[in-house]
Every structure is written in structure tokens, then in C-alpha cells.
Amino acid sequence: MHHLLANLRAMSQRLAIVTDSTASLPAQLAARLGIRVVPLQVKIGDRITNEDQLDRAELFAALRADVPVATAEPSSSAFFWAYQEAADAGATAIISIHISGRLSQTCAAAQSAADRCGVPVRVVDSQTTGMSLGFAVLAAARAAAAGRAPGDVLALAAAQRGHINQLVYVDTLEYLRRGGRIGPAAAFLGTALSIKPLLGVDGGQIVPVTRVRGTRRALSQLVDLAGRGVDGDRLQAAVEHIDAPDRAADTARLLAKRFPALPEPIVTPSSATLAVHLGPGAVGLALSPG
């Protein structure tokens, strides 16, 4: 704790925010807020590509054809150069917020780079992924742009974890099983094809929430469960999808019906890394306090 406080005192207001591509942030939004996004890597067959350079159509075709597909965290050097670029642009401190350490070694790679960086870097394990991570990053970036103290920005990002409702619909658990990320959601393996799982993230890992018969009912339940206990007048939402724009649009319409005062949600494709592990057809919903 003393070491962390000392680092925070060393930080000035010229604070840069870094995240990874699993945050599923739309590129224009990230650029507008000055967020640096370090891409994870996707391996299709024997070829490894940074996911920001990946042909999505090729990825989806490979997933549907059962071609071997895997993911890997960014290299430590990728993080180092992202931090160096931020420092060269004038940042004197960096907060780097990433996918759960129980789902990826991304935080470890970021920390390795942080230890070699010439400016203070605080690596934060968000204990989540997707636009739930994205909302934490957006909150941090807006607070940093407003000149908030680094300690306040860190506290804000950490607080987001407990206030974002996140659920994911998947057509099948097969992709999670293949990638070894299934965790407690393995309890849903072996269900009939017509029974669709809804999953969440708890304690940094993917967990089962419920099962629903049929896609239409599952998407309706996705909105109902994610919307429980939230104030629709003070809410921001994101719908992300994996090669399922029509399902994402349906989910956005259900959201508008449930929360008439809700601002237009962010609707965006999920990161390619999440696509590998959740599979085509998946839809994620994240609701965050406004």
C-alpha cells in the first residue's frame, strides 16, 4: 500500500490511459478520448496476427469450419512501446486497465512492461472483459481528461467493476470449451441445442447465469436480467456482438422498450479475441451507471 501511494503521489495530471483490444471499444471512440489500445493476437492455423489487423470474415469462416484458432496476450514489448509512445506524447503517468487475469495473461505482460518503463505505470486487473471493461476504461479516460487526480481515476475505474451489469448470450459453449476458458460455465455443457446459455463474469471468470429455450426468448431474458436493479434514467449501455448484427439490433430495441429514457447504446462488434472464445452469434450486454 505504501508503495502504491508513493507511486500515485509521483503521478502528475498528464495521465494517459491504456487498455487492450478485449475492451471492444469502437476505434473512433477510443481515438477521440486518447485511449491507447494494445491488440491481443489471434492464431489461425499456423499464422499469428494482431487482432486489429485481422480479416474478420476469415476468422468467422475459420471458426465455423473448425479450423484451429487460438488467442494470445500481447507481448511485453507491445505494451512497452505503447507506454513509450504515451510518454513521448507528454504523459508523465499511465494507468493501464485490462482483461481479467483469470482469462488472460495480458495483465502479466503489461506489468512486465510497466516495470521497465521510464514513467510510473499502474496496471489494473479489471476482473472482467468486453464492454464492461470498456466502460471502466471510458470512465477513467474522461476523468483523466477532466484533470482528476490519478488516485481518483484509479478509484473510479475500480468502482466500475461493482456497478456494471454484464451478461452474454452464446449459441453454444463449444468455443469456450475449446479455448479452455469455460470455468464454472462447464455446468451448462451437454444441454440441447435449442437451450441457449446466458453467461456472466464473476470474480474474473465466466460463470453460468441461466438457460433459456430459443434465441428470441434468450435475448429478451438477457435484457431483463441485466436491467434488474438499475436506474434507467442514469444509465449507459453497450451491445456487442460476434457476426450477429441483427441480434444486436434486436437487443438494442428491447433495451429501448425496457428503458425509454436510455441514451442510444453503443452497438459494436466484439473483439476478435472474444469471438474466438464465444463463437459466432454471441451477443453481450453491458449496463453502466451514467
258: left (phi over 0), alpha (psi -120 to 50) or beta: alpha
Give the domain CATH number at 276: 3.30.1180.10
Tell me, yes or no, whether 123 and 10 share the same domain.
yes
Tell me, yes or no, whether 254 and 214 share the same domain.
yes
Tell me, yes or no, whether 151 and 104 share the same domain.
yes
Domain hosting residue 65, numbered range: 42-71
pLDDT tens sequence across 37-56? 999 999 999 999 999 999 99
Mean pLDDT of 127-153: 95
Mean pLDDT of 103-114: 98
Tell me, yes or no, whether 120 and 27 share the same domain.
yes
Q: Going by C-beta distance under 8 Å and a sequence separation of 6 or more, which residues neighbour residue 162?
A: none
How many Cβ atoms from other residues are within 10 Å of residue 109's Cβ? 24
Rounded to 10 degrees, the C-alpha dihedral 206/172/196/238 comes to 60
Tell me, yes or no, whether 55 and 104 share the same domain.
no
pLDDT tens sequence across 196-229? 999 999 999 989 899 999 999 999 999 999 988 7
Last residue of a domain, one of 138, 161, 184: 161
What's the pTM? 0.90
Rg (CA), the chain: 19
Tell me, yes or no, whether 193 and 258 share the same domain.
yes
Query: Over the range 258-276, which residues count as b (16 or more CB within 10 Å of their CB) and which as e?
Result: ebeebeebbbbbbbbbbbb
CB 258 within 8 A of CB 227: yes
Looking at the 3D structure of the chain, how many domains does it have? 3
Tell me, yes or no, whether 149 and 284 share the same domain.
no
Tell me, yes or no, whether 95 and 66 share the same domain.
no
Q: How many helices (H) and strands (E) are present in the chain, helices listed first?
A: 11, 13
Tell me, yes or no, whether 8 and 150 share the same domain.
yes
pLDDT tens sequence across 151-197? 999 999 888 877 889 999 999 888 888 866 666 666 565 566 678 99
CB 96 within 8 A of CB 124: yes
Give the domain CATH number at 7: 3.40.50.10170
CB 22 within 8 A of CB 274: yes
CB 118 within 8 A of CB 91: no
- Sign for the pseudo-dihedral over CA of 168, 104, 180, 49: positive
Tell me, yes or no, whether 50 and 186 share the same domain.
no
Tell me, yes or no, whether 61 and 34 share the same domain.
no
Grouping H, G, I as helix, E, B as strand and the rest as coil, residue 110 is helix
Tell me, yes or no, whether 6 and 32 share the same domain.
yes
